[in-house]
Amino acid sequence: MKINGNEIRPGMVLEHQKKLWRVAKISHTQPGKGGAYTQAEMKCITDGTKLNERFRSAESVERAVLEQRPMQYLYDSGDSLAFMDNTTFEQVEINYDLMGDQKVWLQENMDVSVEFHQGSPIGVELPATVDMEVVEADAVVKGQTASSSYKPAKLENGETVLVPPYVESGIKITVNTADGTFSGRA
CATH assignment of the domain containing 39: 2.30.30.30
106 and 59 inside one domain: no
Average pLDDT over residues 120-147: 81
What pLDDT, in 10s, does the model give residues 154-177?
A: 999 999 999 988 888 999 999 998
Domain that holds residue 87: 67-125
CATH number of residue 136's parent domain:
2.40.50.140
38 and 58 inside one domain: yes
Domain boundary among the residues 80, 102, 125 is at 125
| pLDDT confidence tier of residue 130, bands split at 50, 70 and 90 | very high
Nearest C-alpha neighbor of 42 from the set 27, 57, 56: 27
- The model's pTM: 0.75
Q: How many C-alpha atoms does 21 have within 13 Å on its Cβ side?
A: 24
52 and 76 inside one domain: no
Task: Return d(Cα 126, Cα 99) in angstroms, integer.
Answer: 9
CB 171 within 8 A of CB 134: yes
Task: Return d(Cα 64, Cα 20) in angstroms, integer.
Answer: 8
